[in-house]
Amino acid sequence: MSVSCDMLVFGGTGDLTLHKLIPALYHLHREKRLHKGVRILALARQSLDRAAYLALAERHCRAQIARSDFNPEMWASFADRLDYFSMDASQRGEFVRLAHYLGHVEGRVRVYYLATAPRLFEAIAANLEAAGLAGEQARIVLEKPIGHDLASALEINRSIGRVFAEPRIYRIDHYLGKETVQNLMALRFANSMFEPIWRSANIDHVQITVAETLGVEDRGGYYDNAGAMRDMMQNHMLQLLCLVAMEAPVRFDAESVRNEKVKVLEALKPITGLDVQDKTVRGQYIAGQIGGHDVPAYYFERHVDNDSATETFVAVHAEIDNWRWAGVPFYLRTGKRMAKKYSEIVIHFKPVPHMLFQSSLANRLVIRLQPEESISMQLMAKTPGKGMSLEQVELDLNLAHAFRQTRRWDAYERLLLDVIEGDSTLFMRHDEVEAAWRWVDPILKGWQGYYRRPRPYPAGTSGPDQARHMLERHGRRWS
């Protein structure tokens, strides 16, 4: 059910557009998932003519996607949809020019994708309205992070909400577009065996890890003002936590799913004041080696302050104060320049109440998002041969193998299509974003008072030792 529309991408020459959005749109085009009437207009200040922009977009697209997926004829037909418009989006007058360029087509859907710094969000929305471009058929997509703290997020939500009604605002969190993340909902809510055990009586604790080998690349200017808490924890990590912890929604629609996620966020136990020293760990990478290559310390990265106190690693012991999860720790950690790239959620079940055999093992459910997508249940089995010793074996569902014939979609492909089709189930509602900030703000404040300098960790390791100690104090280990 693809829909014809104009998609205007503000920030059309930026990293996100060239590395993620254009390749995702190209894939959708190639697989005939875009209506033939979908036109894409990239916008930025840089003065480029259409041919120069197409060359820039092609170069990046080729670099991003598998060689076998790139076909020059296919690119040429995709490029027919693509155009470039040079403008300064902070200037109201420029939008008159834009409106003129677009012309008026009654009832045509317009999607405004704001792939720019958040400081431009308010001006762009207001300028679109002033130019008569924000009618009922217009939708706006906002990239994370929405704001820098609760106050700025409220301000963004308020100013965008003045122009666009909530159902026409799509706050994107690309983790929600990842196939395994959606599979987590299928696993929990389409299999009767999990619901009875999905609670504190049976679950000892939950671990969520998103580890990257990349550093900050060219994004030091942004990252040094954000850090891992704002860049990853406030959004992606908390969204994963919500999907693990939420109750079954009444229906699989935008409002029902988001209602349940908000309840989880609102039940997060605040971490305030000195608590930050026990329940959080901040780290910053120093020089080290990844894959046999030397990599520099964070404070030597481009556009990063030499005396930066920004965290590139964060671990948190979160707790959810509700009936289902009381007393179950959720350990979350994310970091850059770690030993390997992987993202996974591990549900650690409690051991059986009375163990008959010589073993301290317990079941674990491992939901792996990256690099490969898989779900595996770790069960106890008898080691073959004499005696009764136990070993952990995996009941493994490798999703790439199970659905071998289909190319795995990138998260942005799925989410862009959802916006075009008007489905906001996998996007964040304003109160979700605000509830997440409400929990994050006191931690940031606590750090200001009691935890100013992050702990150093060598690039290529699994973060500072303090993260290990945080779990060891509870008699646990990271998976």
Ligand X SMILES: O=C1O[C@H](COP(=O)(O)O)[C@@H](O)[C@H](O)[C@H]1O
Residue 45 binds: one of ligand NDP, ligand X, none (C-beta under 5 to 8 A by kind): ligand NDP
CA distance 126 to 104: 19
Contact region for ligand NDP (CB under 6 A) — 27-35, 110-118, 398-406, 414-422? 110-118
Residue 212 binds: one of ligand NDP, ligand X, none (C-beta under 5 to 8 A by kind): ligand X
**With respect to ligand NDP, which residue has the nearer C-beta, 227 or 446?**
227
CA distance 22 to 113: 12
Smallest separation, CB 197 to ligand X (Å): 29
Length of the chain measured in residues: 479
CA angle 55, 57, 61 (to 5 degrees): 120
Q: Which helix (H) or strand (E) holds 345?
A: strand 342-349
Is residue 5 close enough to count as binding ligand NDP by CB under 6 A?
no
Contact by Cβ (8 Å): 471, 331: yes
Please select the residue that binds ligand X; options are 6, 58, 83, 231, rule is CB under 6 A: 231
Smallest separation, CB 215 to ligand X (Å): 10
Is residue 224 close enough to count as binding ligand X by CB under 6 A?
no
Residue 227 binds: one of ligand NDP, ligand X, none (C-beta under 5 to 8 A by kind): none
Is residue 212 close enough to count as binding ligand X by CB under 6 A?
yes
Burial state string for 196-235 with b = 16 or more CB within 10 A and e = fewer than 16: eebebeebbbbbbbbbbbebbeebbebbbebbbbbbbbbb
Contact by Cβ (8 Å): 206, 329: yes
DSSP β-bridge partners for residue 347: 206, 365
Residue 332 binds: one of ligand X, ligand NDP, none (C-beta under 5 to 8 A by kind): none
The answer to whether the Cα torsion of 93, 94, 95, 101 is positive or negative is positive
Residues 117-156 close enough to bind ligand NDP by CB under 6 A: 117-118, 120, 143-144
Task: Show the tokens assigned to 272.
Answer: 């305030």
Q: Which residue has the tokens 């999703």?
A: 399
- DSSP codes, 66-114: -GGG--HHHHHHHHTTEEEEE--TT-HHHHHHHHHHH---TT-EEEEEE
Task: Show the tokens assigned to 47.
Answer: 């003065």
Q: What are phi and psi of 86, to 5 degrees?
A: -90, 125
Our answer to whether residue 236 is catalytic in this structure is: yes
**With respect to ligand NDP, which residue has the nearer C-beta, 7 or 267?**
7
Ligand-binding annotation for 45, yes or no, is yes
Smallest separation, CB 450 to ligand NDP (Å): 28
CA distance 306 to 312: 14
Ligand-binding annotation for 231, yes or no, is yes
Contact region for ligand NDP (CB under 6 A) — 8-16, 129-137, 330-338, 373-381? 8-16
CA distance 280 to 283: 10
Cβ neighbors of 177 (< 8 A, separation 6 or more) are: 409, 410, 411, 412, 413, 414, 415, 418, 426
Please select the residue that binds ligand NDP; options are 45, 148, 324, 350, rule is CB under 6 A: 45
Contact region for ligand NDP (CB under 6 A) — 115-123, 239-247, 353-361, 379-387? 115-123
Residue 44 binds: one of ligand NDP, ligand X, none (C-beta under 5 to 8 A by kind): ligand NDP
**With respect to ligand NDP, which residue has the nearer C-beta, 115 or 238?**
115
Q: Looking at 236, 317, 348, 430, which residue is catalytic? A: 236
The DSSP symbol for 196 reads G
Please select the residue that binds ligand NDP; options are 7, 16, 181, 470, rule is CB under 6 A: 16
Ligand-binding annotation for 20, yes or no, is no
Helix (H, G, I), strand (E, B) or coil at 145: coil
Q: Nearest to ligand X by Cβ — which residue? A: 231
Stretch 315-344: interaction string toward ligand X, x if CB under 6 A: ----------------------------x-
**With respect to ligand NDP, which residue has the nearer C-beta, 206 or 415?**
415
Residues 349-388 close enough to bind ligand X by CB under 6 A: 370
Residues 64-93 close enough to bind ligand NDP by CB under 6 A: 88-90
Please select the residue that binds ligand NDP; options are 13, 157, 183, 363, rule is CB under 6 A: 13
Contact by Cβ (8 Å): 215, 295: yes
Please select the residue that binds ligand NDP; options are 36, 46, 59, 74, rule is CB under 6 A: 46
Footprint on this chain of ligand NDP (rule: CB under 6 A): 10-16, 44-46, 88-90, 115-118, 120, 143-144, 219, 222
Catalytic residue positions, numbered: 236
* Interaction site with ligand X (CB under 6 A): 212, 214, 231, 343, 370
List the binding residues for NADP(+).
45, 144
